């Protein structure tokens, strides 16, 4: 089987314990399948990415012997691909310009909000009424999308109803995560997306966008989240500590434990080798 996986960190800060879990899981799944593992730096939101953080993340991965099989890629260098994808969607009538400000969306969206995000009320679907477009959105529909997550099982969503027409190119001129990730996963022939459960909710939007662009849908596996001492998910936004890599083998051991793997060894090589053996028996893996 031609397996290609990836780890796709946003370099808004160095890796923390939670991101190491996602990195390790995607690496282990690639190794267990005899496949390739890629690293893609998701720096489309360049103003939020402090210079040098990309290099730091690659160094942190290297300290853990998580070395990609191909040179890493940077989304900030791939805008031409996103541009071409948006042009195709516009030409096919699948995307449209939107002139609404946040305030206008809030005024019309009413109570239709989800995870703090307003459901776009479709105001500009039929045109911007002579107003200048600010952002570009995908035209969604209410088909019940179904997919199976390798850990979370059968999932479904009606994207139009639950999320609404979502943004592809933002009003500040930056590419939206959804478009960049879908274009890159396809362009890099990714067969398996393994990432933290906090991102699971993006999957239906990505599947919808893949369909609109005629791209294949990879398999998805969302890994358990690492919670901090306060019970909240670890994230750069809520101040998670950068990974302590004074003892990378121990850090990898803790990441493996968060994935429910029992591993042994005192060196990075031994911990990784024992994690590769343990991976196929992870609790969510169906025989």
Q: How far apart are CA 283 and CA 128, in angstroms?
A: 50
Angle subtended by helix axes 268-278 and 248-258, to nearest 10: 20
Q: How far apart are CA 54 and CA 41, in angstroms?
A: 7
Distance of CA 98 to the CA centre of its chain: 25
Range in contact with ligand GLU (rule: CB under 6 A) among 7-15, 59-67, 114-122, 128-136: 7-15
How many separate helices (H) and strands (E) can be counted in the chain? Answer: 9, 12
Of the candidates 182, 199, 243, 261, which one interacts with ligand GLU according to CB under 6 A? 199
Nearer to ligand GLU, 201 or 257 (CB): 201
Of the candidates 10, 53, 73, 140, which one interacts with ligand GLU according to CB under 6 A? 10
Is 195 a residue that touches ligand GLU (CB under 6 A)? yes
**Could you say which DSSP state residue 199 is in?**
G
Is 42 a residue that touches ligand GLU (CB under 6 A)? yes
Longest alpha-carbon distance in the chain: 66
Nearer to ligand GLU, 57 or 135 (CB): 57
Of the candidates 5, 8, 58, 259, which one interacts with ligand GLU according to CB under 6 A? 8
Phi and psi angles of residue 110, each rounded to the nearest 5 degrees, phi first: 60, -140
Is 222 a residue that touches ligand GLU (CB under 6 A)? no
Residues 155-184 that bind ligand GLU (CB under 6 A): 181
Binding stretches for ligand GLU (CB under 6 A): 8-10, 42, 181, 195, 199
């Amino acid at each position: 089987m031609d397996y290609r996986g990836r780890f796709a960190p946003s370099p808004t800060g160095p890796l923390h314990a939670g991101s190491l879990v996602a990195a390790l899981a995607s690496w282990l799944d690639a190794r267990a399948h005899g496949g390739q593992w890629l690293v893609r730096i998701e720096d489309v939101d360049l103003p939020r990415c402090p210079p040098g953080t990309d290099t730091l993340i690659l160094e942190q991965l290297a300290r853990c012997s998580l070395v990609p099989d191909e040179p890493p890629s940077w989304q900030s260098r791939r805008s031409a691909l996103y541009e071409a994808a948006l042009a195709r969607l516009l030409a096919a009538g699948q995307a449209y310009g939107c002139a609404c400000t946040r305030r206008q969306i809030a005024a019309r969206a009413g109570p239709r909000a989800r995870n703090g995000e307003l459901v776009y009320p479709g105001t500009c679907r039929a045109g911007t009424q002579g107003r200048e477009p600010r952002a570009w959105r995908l035209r969604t529909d209410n088909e019940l999308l179904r997919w199976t997550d390798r850990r979370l099982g059968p999932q479904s969503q009606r994207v139009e109803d639950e999320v609404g027409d979502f943004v592809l190119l933002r009003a500040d001129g930056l590419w939206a995560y959804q478009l960049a990730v879908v274009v890159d996963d396809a362009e890099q022939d990714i067969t398996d997306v393994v990432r933290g459960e906090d991102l699971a909710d993006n999957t239906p939007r990505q599947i919808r966008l893949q369909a609109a662009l005629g791209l294949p849908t990879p398999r998805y596996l969302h890994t358990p989240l690492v919670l901090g001492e306060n019970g909240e998910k670890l994230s750069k936004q809520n101040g998670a500590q950068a990974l302590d890599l004074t003892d990378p083998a121990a850090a990898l051991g803790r990441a493996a434990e968060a994935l429910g793997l029992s591993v042994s060894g005192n060196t990075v090589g031994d911990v990784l080798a024992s994690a590769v053996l343990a991976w196929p028996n992870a609790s969510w893996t169906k025989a």
